[in-house]
Amino acid sequence: MTLTEFYQNFSWLIWYLAAVNLATFFVYGLDKAKAGISGARRVRERTLFILAIVGGSPAALTGMWLFRHKTQKLSFQAVMAVILALQILLIWFLFFRS
């Protein structure tokens, strides 16, 4: 399958992933900004994980690195590593196993 054929068949997936990753990156940046404000209402970790699970893991990892957000919390990093590993296995199974 060429890139053109892939885009024609899965353009909805590309747009979905772009939107989810944009939203994920924004939420990670917002949560980091709120982390420096005393008494500010933070984004729940569950929300950050859900955004990664539904396709925003590239933006989540980028946001963690760029904003230096949640990089000292090993339990958060471990869950993100599991999410990323499962997504890699899913992609491998769906696209390269057939």
pLDDT in tens, 46-68: 999 999 999 999 999 999 999 98
2 lies in a domain?
Answer: no
pTM of the model: 0.84
Domain that holds residue 61: 21-96
12 lies in a domain?
Answer: no
Which tokens sit at 12? 């909805």
Phi-psi region of 19 (alpha: psi -120 to 50; beta: other; left: phi over 0): alpha
4 lies in a domain?
Answer: no
Per residue in 18-38, pLDDT (tens digit) is 999 999 999 999 999 998 888
Number of domains within the chain:
1
11 lies in a domain?
Answer: no
Give just the sign of the alpha carbon dihedral 47, 49, 53, 59. positive
8 lies in a domain?
Answer: no
3-state secondary structure of 72: coil
